[in-house]
Amino acid sequence: MDLHHPILREFPEHREAIKRLKGGDEHFRHLYDEYHRLDDEIYRIEEEIDFATDQEIEERKMRRAKLKDYIYHLIKHAPPVCPTCLGTGATN
């Protein structure tokens, strides 16, 4: 069983929106990075590389779940790619 839950694997159908948001939205990028940091911490605890109390691991998992929900919300409400500028904002 794979213990990592990267956002691109969780939402593969939104790969382009995720890449666009990571590249152009500082708030999204911060949340994305925090999610993956937490995911890595949880993995390390579950693999017994690092240690945490049951409460600490549950708090991390809850925070990761909330971040995932919020990230999904941001993805679903991301503006569509402009067909003229292909998401760059440039018209030429």
Give, in order, the Cα–Cα distances in Å from 16 to each of 11, 29, 37, 66. Answer: 10, 14, 22, 22
- Reported as a single tens digit per residue, the pLDDT across 4-24 is 889 999 999 999 999 999 999
Give, in order, the Cα–Cα distances in Å from 17 to each of 22, 24, 74. Answer: 8, 10, 10
Which residue ranges make up each domain of the chain?
A: 7-76
- Reported as a single tens digit per residue, the pLDDT across 62-76 is 999 999 999 999 999
This prediction has a pTM of 0.82
